[in-house]
Structure 1
Amino acid sequence: MLEPRLQAFLDYFNQISGQHTIAPTALYHKDVCFIDPVQQIQGATALQVYLNHGYQRLNYARFMPVSGSCSGDVGFLSWVMTYSHPAIAKGKEISVKGCSELRWQGEQIIYHRDYYDMTEMVYQQIPVLGWLTSQVKRKMAAG
C-alpha cells in the first residue's frame, strides 16, 4: 500500500491520455520544478504544456508502482511505465523502469524529478540506433 501522496501522484499520471489531460494545478505547486532526461521545466503551466505534448500521440501509458517511501516532505517512487506510441517500435508495448523524486510544499508537489533510461525508452526501439546502443553497451561491459 502506497503512502496517500504517492498514490495520488500515481493516480494522476495513470489518468492522463492524449484524449484526457488533467490540469496539474491540484497536484502541483504553481512554481513546480520538473526535471526529466528530456528537459527541465519551471511552473505548473509549462508542465501542463509539456505533458499535453508528451501524451498527445501516445496510444497509452500506464505506471505500476514497484516501491515507494516518504519521509517528511520528500518521497521516492520506483515504477514501471508501460506505453505504446505509434511512431516507436511500430506501436508495440514497451516497458521502462524509472523512479520519481518528489518534494512537497504543503499539499502540492514543488519539485519532481524523474530518472529513467532514454536509451531503454526510445533509442533501443529505433532499428539502427537500437543495434548501435546495444553494441556500445556490450563493449563497455566487456571492459
Structure 2
Amino acid sequence: MKPGALTPQDAMARAVAFFEHLEPAHLAALDLIYAPDARFKDPFNEVQGLRAIGAVFEHMFATLDAPHFVVTGRVLQGSTCFLTWDFCFQMRRFKRGQQQVVRGASQLVFDEAGRIALHRDYWDAAEELYEKLPLLGGLMRWLKRRARS
C-alpha cells in the first residue's frame, strides 16, 4: 500500500459516506473518491473518467427531487466491495411528492490509493423504474404476468 493510501476498509467507509451524503456541491471533489480514469456502468450509462461520471450524478440531481442513497449492506473482499442500497427520490414530472425507492447493489473496485477505479451498479430497471411510469408501467406489469403464466 502506498503512503497516504487508504486501506480497503477505510476506502469502503469513505465511499459509503460519500454516497449517503451526496449533494451537488460534493461533485467538485469527485477526484477524492474516484480515480481519474474510473469506469462507471449502470442500466442506462457506461462512462469513463471523472467528467463523465460527474455528468451522471449532475443529471440525477437535475431530473429528480431529493435523491439520496441509503446503504443497507456491505461486503469487502480484497480491494472489491459490494454495497446494497436503497435509492430514494421523488420524480419531478409525475407522481410529484411521492417517495420512490429503487433497490440495487454496487460493485466497487478500489485502486492502490483507495479511490474507486470501477463502479458497477446492478438494479432491475423494469421492476424498479419502468413499472412505476405511466403507460409503460401497465405494459411492464402485463408482460410480467404473461411471463409467469
So what's the TM-score if we normalise by structure 1?
0.87
- The runs of 5 or more residues in structure 2 that have no matched partner are 1-8
Three-state SS of the structure 2 residue aligned to 1:59 is strand
Q: What CA distance in whole angstroms lies between the structure 2 residues aligned with 1:32 and 1:91?
A: 34
Q: What is the CA deviation profile of residues 38-80 of structure 1, one whole-angstrom value per residue up to 9, with x for unaligned ones?
A: 0100111211122112212321122222211111111101111
Are 1:22 and 2:50 an aligned pair?
no
| Structure 1 residue corresponding to 2:57, chosen from 48, 51, 55 | 51
The residue number in structure 1 matching 2:116 is: 109
RMSD (Å) for aligned C-alpha atoms: 1.7
Three-state SS of the structure 1 residue aligned to 2:64 is coil
Are 1:35 and 2:41 an aligned pair?
yes
Three-state SS of the structure 2 residue aligned to 1:38 is coil
Displacement of 1:92 after TM fit?
A: 1.2
The residue number in structure 2 matching 1:74 is: 80
Displacement of 1:139 after TM fit?
A: 1.1
Q: How many residues are treated as equivalent by the alignment?
A: 139
The residue number in structure 1 matching 2:5 is: none
Three-state SS of the structure 2 residue aligned to 1:13 is helix
Displacement of 1:125 after TM fit?
A: 1.9
So what's the TM-score if we normalise by structure 2?
0.84
Q: Which amino acid aligns with 1:125?
A: K
Identity of aligned residues (%): 26
Q: What CA distance in whole angstroms lies between the structure 1 residues aligned with 2:61 and 2:51?
A: 16
Three-state SS of the structure 2 residue aligned to 1:90 is coil
Displacement of 1:10 after TM fit?
A: 2.4
Contact 2:67–2:88 (Cα < 8 Å) also in 1: yes
Displacement of 1:21 after TM fit?
A: 4.2
The residue number in structure 1 matching 2:125 is: 118
The residue number in structure 1 matching 2:16 is: 10
Q: What CA distance in whole angstroms lies between the structure 1 residues aligned with 2:95 and 2:11?
A: 34
Distance 1:58-1:138 versus aligned 2 partners, 3 A rule: same
Displacement of 1:88 after TM fit?
A: 4.1
